[in-house]
Structure 1
Amino acid sequence: MGSRLAGATREPGPPSSACDAPRIQRIYSGASLRYLGREEMTRDEAERYVAQAHEWGLADPVVQYILGIEAGRHLVGVVKLRRCPPGEGHVGYVLREDIWGNGYATEAVRRLITFAFSAAGMDRLTAKHLPDNPASGRVLVKSGFERVGPQGGHIHYRLLRP
């Protein structure tokens, strides 16, 4: 498949350079926004996003991991792990629409789960998606999440450390 989390061969890290801003802006555009409830990201927003991701990655403890999803040498998405109550994390992800349906999200979420339960020391993960995005639910289930059910306009999932 060829996809990997950016930084898979080194300590995981966020998109962190100025050249990542246009790539992040591309991810947060077009059909990818259909399930995010937001407008397209501007260049300024993308630059702030990259700076914030870098800052979060340097915090101790890390508040939120934002890791790039690469296909070849192209940044095609991000997968996020936000610390919640002690030992818990919340998973989210967004990918460019031109690579949907090729397994990149599932692979990235599986790798993030491994990272969350090992290096990040989490015991429980949660995730959610909008009801009109069943593909996201399939990604979560294929990655090992258990569907909890609808609440507050989203379908919720959980995964406990094995």
Structure 2
Amino acid sequence: MKRVIQVRINGEERELVVEPYRSLLDTLRNEAALTGTKKGCDVGDCGACTVILDGNPVNACLVLAVEVAGRSVETIEGLQHAPDQVHALQDNFMRCGAAQCGFCTPGILMMGKSLLDHNPNPSTDEIRFALAGNICRCTGYTKIIEAISQTACAHKEEVQ
């Protein structure tokens, strides 16, 4: 039996009709028409579906949509607040050449954002640890780590 849930997605209150067995990932992609979150393995191993739920990164394929009722979800579509202004993390990914095919990139960007939200000045080891659940088949992660580090350094300079 379908349920109606209220959820804040990228700062906007949404009402979605969902099946109780449906994942947050499938609901975002199909009911909310937010296709930036990718379906990779669908079992929580690859991190391509990483979104931020109430301030913490989760694999959207492992969360039931009914569990997010009354909660806040951030997806890759919400990372860029204005059409002509990319998030600093996105900008550094482009500058560093951190994306290859791009399939894993939305999940990695959301994990990077969550890391920087919780730890604005992470060490290289902290970045590596945070990305441990995000698989990229194209890169050696060096440029990804560099992009996250540069974003942290730029933020640190802005604060000083």
Task: Name the TM-score, length of structure 2 as normaliser.
Answer: 0.30
- Which structure has the bigger radius of gyration? 2
Task: Name the TM-score, length of structure 1 as normaliser.
Answer: 0.30
Which has more helix, going by share of residues? 2
Which has more strand, going by share of residues? 1
